[in-house]
Structure 1
Amino acid sequence: MLTSPVHDCASSSASPAVSSTTLEVGEVRVSTDTEVETSIYNAHTSFSTFTKPHATSSDPCWNTMRRVQSEVLSLSLDDFCFIQKLGSGDIGTVYLVELKGHSNKGCLFAAKVMDKEELVSRSKEGRARIEMEILDMLDHPFLPTLYTTLDTDKWSLLLTEYCPGGDLHVLRQRLPEKRFDEAAVRFYTSEVVVALEYLHMMGIIYRDLKPENVLVRSDGHIMLTDFDLSLKCDGSIVMPQLVHDEGITSPKLGHNSNDQSSNHSPPYSSTSSCILPNCIVPHVSCWYSKHRRRWRRGGVGSQRPLRLVAEPIEARSMSFVGTHEYLAPEIVSGEGHGNAVDWWTLGIFMYELLYGVTPFRGLDNEFTLSNIVARAFEFPKEPIVPTMAKDLITQLLVKDPTMRMGSMMGATTIKQHPFFDGVNWALLRCTTPPHIPQNFNSTRDIVSSNDDDDDDYVDYY
C-alpha cells in the first residue's frame, strides 16, 4: 500500500530545476526527480472535453485545469505538489495535491494514487478501471467531478474534487453526543437519496454507502466518493418509466392484510405479462393495476401527476463486497443482490447518524454478519428519535429485498415519505447546510477515518 508522499510546496517551487515527488511502496522508494529519472514522465493524461455544468458554474479549478491542459502537452506528477495524505482505500491512497505555478495557487485536488503492479498482483485492475469509467460518466452536484487522469509507467492517478469538510464519520465523532440531530440527518440523507437516484438512473449500483464515503464540500453540501466497489450495469438494464403517484405506495403498507397478492408479488420474475403503464415495471404482479383502477373509480387517479422512475431492478451480482456493518442480508447469504442493497445501506446510514452506532454490530465480524441475517433490529430507548425517522428506517431495513422500500420504485418512493416533509427536492443546493467547514489549518481537519476501519472492510469475490 502506498504511503504518504508529503511535500513542501515552498521548497518544491524554489528549485524548479530539481523538482521531485517520492512515493513509497513497502520498502521500495521510487524517486521522480527530473535529473534522475525521466521514465515516469512518459505519462498519459486524459481530460474530458465534456462540459459539466455543475462544475464550471462555481469551480475555478475546473477552468484552471482546462487552461493548463491547453498550455502543456501532457501533465505529469511533477506538475503537482503532494501536500498530505487524506486517507487509504482498498486499491489506492488519496492525497491532497496542489497544482504548481503562481497563477494556480490554491487549486487543490484529491488525487487517488494506485500502484499498477499491486493492482495486477491482487487482481484489482478491473475495479480501478470501473471506477474511472464511472467517474467519467458523472455530472451531478452531489457526486465527484473527475478533472483529469494521469497514467505513468508505475502509477495511475484520478484527480477529483477536494472536500475540506472531511467525511460524516469524522464530523459525527466531533459532535458532543456523537450523533446528528433530526434536521441534519434529513439534510444529509436527502442529498444522498438524490445522488443514489442519479446513479441508479445511470445504471450504477453504489454498494458502499457509509458515513466515511460521504464527504462535506466547502459549501457544506455532500459528495459521495469511492466507486471501486460499484456495479456498473449494462445500459439496457435501466428502463425509465412514467407512473402515477398512486403506484408509489409501498406494497407492504399500501394494502390491508387481506390483500394477499401484496405480500407475494414476484418482483424479479421475468414471466409477467403485464404491460406498462398498468403496472410499475414488467416484473411486478398486477395487484398495482387493481389498485390504480380503484383510485380511478373514486375520481382521484386521473388527477395524480406522473413520476419518472428509472431503477436497475434487473441487475444482479453474486459478489460479496462492502463493509461488514452495512452489508445487506442478500449479500451475506450469497443469494445474489441488485439495486435494493443501496436502499438497505441508506437505512443503516440513517440509523448511524441518528444513534451513533449501527444496528447489527456484533462482538466481531462473524457475529455482525449473523445478526444481519437472523436478528430483528430494535431501536434503543435513548436517544429519543422522531417516529417518522424510525418508520423510514424500518421500511428500508426489510430483510427481504423484494419488499424493501425503494426496491421497485427507487428514490421516487423514498422521497415521498413523511420524514422528508418540507424538503424542496428541486432546490436542495439552495438549502442551508447544518455545517459549513472552516478553512483547514491542521491535519485533523482533513484526515479521514478510513485508515481506522480497514478491519471492517469486505472485498471477497
Structure 2
Amino acid sequence: EDEDPEKSSLRGSVKDSSVSAKFSDGASSLTKASGSTKVSGHADLVQSGKSSVYRASAGSDVSDDSTCSSICSSASKPHKSNDSRWEAIQVIRTKEGSLGLSHFRLLKRLGCGDIGSVYLSELSGTKCYFAMKIMDKASLAGRKKLLRAQTEREILQCLDHPFLPTLYTHFETDKFSCLVMEFCPGGDLHTLRQKQPGKYFPEQAAKFYVAEVLLALEYLHMLGIIYRDLKPENVLVREDGHIMLSDFDLSLRCDVSPTLLKSSNPGVDPNQKGNQAYCVQPVCIEPACIQPACVTTTTCFSPRFFSSKSKREKKEKKAKADMATQVRPLPELVAEPTDARSMSFVGTHEYLAPEIIKGEGHGSAVDWWTFGIFLYELLFGKTPFKGSGNRATLFNVVGQPLRFPESPVVGFAARDLIRGLLIKEPQHRLAYKRGATEIKQHPFFEGVNWALIRCATPPDIPKPVEIPRPGASTSQKATPSAEKDGICS
C-alpha cells in the first residue's frame, strides 16, 4: 500500500486496469435499493463517474493506533431503543445463544463495493429487514484491506445518531465477515438528484439535506472521526425521507478534545450607563464550570421611582431593563479534531481537497471542503472542478478559481457559504477551527431549527419497496458463495 516515487508523481490518476474493473472504495452503499445500486469501474462511469480512491502513505495515519471510546461496547443504541428489530435480534440471541448467517434469508443484492457486497436480508421467522454487508476475509487479506474493514466495523459500533447507520450486530463465519445494519429503501441522493427537473435540487430541499449531513459530520468529528468520502452516492434516504450517511472504510480515527467557548452577552449594551457588560473573548473553559454559579447573576431588586410617565414609556423602560439583566448565553461546544494529520491519498477525485492532492498532509478541514462540493452539486447539478478526466480534475481543484454557472439561479447566502468552504488553503477555510458550530451560524441556515430538525418535513418521501417473496425468481438473489474473491460479477 506504500507509495513509490512513480505513483507519487501520478497522484490521483486512474487506477490500473485490474483495479478499475473492480468496485470502488466507498461504493458499497450499506442500504441502497435496487433502483439506486451503485457500482464502479466501467458501469460506475456511466452512472455517476465518481469512484472513491484510496492509497495509503508510507507513514501511518493517526487512526492506526487510536481506540474507540467506551460507548463502542454498548449493546444497543439509545435513540433506537424502541426499534422492533433490536427486540427480534435479542429474542434469537436469548433462544439460541448467538446470531449467524443461517438466521438470515438473503433476498437480493443491493450493491457492491471494494471490500464487500450488500444484501437486503430478512431475519428468519420475522418481518424484520436489514442491509447485510458481507466481506470475504481471504480476499481482504490478499488485497491488504483487512484494516479498512476493521476500521469501518469499529466506527459503526461507536455510532449512535439519527443520521448515521445503526449496526444491529456483526458476526463472522470461517469465510465471511458480516455487518448487519439498517436498510434504507429510498436509495441515495445521487439517484434522487438525477430524477429532479434539471437534475438539481431546489434551494430549500438542498438546505434540508445538507443540514442533516452537517449534523452527522459534527457528531463524527466529536468522536474523532474524519469522514473523508462525502458525496451524494454515500448519502442514503430512509423510508421517512430523512438521510443517513454511509460507508466508513475510508474514514480516519483520531484524538479530539471537546472544549467550551465563552461568548459575550448580546443583551447588554456596553455603552449604556448603569449596565455591566459581560463581553468576554472566546476562551476555553472546563466543563465543570458550566454550573449555575457560572451564569451571570441578575439583580431582582432595583430602586422604584414614581413618575407621571405614560404606560407606553414605562413598558419600553421595563423591556430595556429586562434585556440588560438577561442571563448571558451558555458557552458553545466546539469539538473539532484540528490536530489530526494523515498523508493518505483518500477520497473521490471531484471531491478531493487541495491539500490531499498536493500531499501536504490533511486533517478535519477536508470534510468541510467536501461539504462545500456536496452543497454545490446539489444546487447546480454538477461539481465545480470536474475536468475531462481525473488528472484534469485534480489540476482544476488545485489551480482553478471557483466559478458559479449563470443557471440555475442560487441565492447569495448559499454561494457565500460555498465560497467560504471552498477556500484552497485549509487554515483559512470556513469551520477550520470551530467546525460545524461556525457553519450553523451562517445566514444560509437561517430559520433552521437544529434541535427539532428530525420533525421537519422532508422534500421527498420514498415509495415503499417491494420485498421479494420466497417463491419469486432468484435471478437477483446472488449468494456470497457465488462470488469470486468478494468481487461482484
TM-score (norm 2): 0.68
Q: Which has the higher contact order (CA 8 A, sep 6+)?
A: 2
Unaligned runs of 5+ residues in structure 1 are 3-46, 248-276, 283-298, 448-461
CA distance in 2, matches of 1:240, 1:139: 18
Deviation at 1:176, TM superposition (A): 2.3
| Deviations 1:313-341, CA, capped at 9 Å, x for gaps | 00000010111111010001000000000
- The Cα of 1:281 is off from its aligned counterpart by 6.9
Does 2:75 match 1:54? Answer: no
**2:263–2:281: 8 Å Cα contact kept in structure 1?**
no
**Are residues 1:402 and 2:423 paired?**
no
1:430 maps to what in 2?
455
Is the contact made by 1:328 and 1:345 (CA closer than 8 Å) also made in structure 2?
Answer: yes
Residue among 84, 96, 100 paired with 1:72? 96
Give how far 1:69 is off: 1.6
* CA displacement at 1:208 relative to structure 2: 0.6
Matched, 1:345 2:366: no
Runs of 4+ in 1 over 6 A off after TM superposition: 299-302
Aligned partner of 2:136: which letter? D
Report how far residue 441 of structure 1 moved. Answer: 3.3
Q: Deviations over 1:145-168 (max 9, x none)?
A: 100112011111111100000110
User: Which residue of structure 2 aligns with residue 242 of structure 1?
Assistant: 260
1:326 corresponds to: 351
Match of 1:133 among 147, 154, 171: 154
**Aligned pairs (5 A) from 1:72-151:** 72-101=96-125, 104-105=126-127, 107-151=128-172
CA positional deviation for 1:300:
12
In the alignment, the residues of structure 2 paired with residue 108 and residue 361 of structure 1 have an alpha-carbon distance, to the nearest angstrom, of 38
The answer as to whether partners of 1:320 and 1:331 remain within 8 angstroms in 2 is yes
Measured after TM superposition, the shift of residue 85 of structure 1 is 1.4
Instruction: State how 1:337-416 maps to structure 2 within 5 Å.
Output: 337-416=362-441
Q: Deviations over 1:400-420 (max 9, x none)?
A: 000111110000000000000
- State the 1:50 CA deviation: 2.7
User: How far apart are the structure 2 equivalents of 1:70 and 1:390?
Assistant: 54
Structure 2 portions without partners, runs of 5+: 1-21, 24-71, 266-279, 286-323, 469-475, 477-489
1-structure distance, mates of 2:78, 2:168? 13
CA distance in structure 2 between the aligned counterparts of 1:281 and 1:326, rounded to whole angstroms: 33
* Alpha carbons of structure 1 residues 191 and 245: separation in structure 2 relative to 1, 3 Å: farther
Deviation at 1:179, TM superposition (A): 0.9
1:296-335 matches, within 5 Å, as 303=328, 305-335=330-360
Q: 1:60, 1:280 → 2: CA distance?
A: 45
Contact 2:261 2:332 in 1 (8 A): yes
**Change in CA separation of 1:280 and 1:94 when aligned onto 2, cut-off 3 Å:** farther
1:301–1:311 CA distance, 2 compared to 1 (3 A): farther
In structure 2, distance between residues paired with 1:442 and 1:362: 40
Aligned to 1:167: 188
| Equivalenced residues, count | 348
- Please give the per-residue CA displacement for 1:248-269, whole angstroms capped at 9, x wherever unaligned: xxxxxxxxxxxxxxxxxxxxxx
Q: Distance in 1 between matches of 2:100 and 2:256?
A: 38
* Identity over aligned pairs, percent: 57
Deviation string for 1:358-379 (max 9, x for gaps)? Answer: 0111000000011111111200
Q: Give me the whole-angstrom Cα distance separating, in 1, the residues matched to 2:149 and 2:119.
A: 17
Which of 165, 173, 178 aligns to 2:199? It is 178
Mapped contact 2:230–2:370 kept (Cα < 8 A): yes
- CA drift at 1:279: 5.5
Q: Distance in 2 between matches of 1:415 and 1:123?
A: 39
Letter in 1 for 2:260: L
Amino acid paired to 1:359: P
Q: What residue in structure 2 maps to residue 421 of structure 1?
A: 446
Contact 2:263–2:282 at 8 Å: present in 1 too? Answer: no
Change (3 A) 1:442 1:78: closer
**Partners of 2:76 and 2:168 within 8 A in 1:** no
Cα distance per residue 1:353-399 (max 9 Å; x no partner): 00110011100000001111111120000010111111101100010
Residue 50 of structure 1 aligns with an amino acid whose one-letter code is A
**Kept in 2: contact 1:48–1:148 (CA 8 A):** no
Deviation at 1:73, TM superposition (A): 2.3
In angstroms, what is the RMSD of aligned CA positions? 2.4
Q: 1:218-260: CA deviations, max 9, x gaps?
A: 1111110100000011xxx31111113469xxxxxxxxxxxxx
Q: Which amino acid in structure 1 is aligned with residue 209 of structure 2?
A: Y
Q: 1:394 to 1:442 in 2, by over 3 A?
A: farther
> Is the CA contact 1:246–1:301 (under 8 Å) kept in the aligned structure 2?
no
TM-score (norm 1): 0.72
How far apart in 1 are the matches of 2:283 and 2:438? Answer: 12
Give the CA deviation at 1:303.
3.9
Q: Is the 8 A contact 2:171 2:178 kept in 1?
A: yes
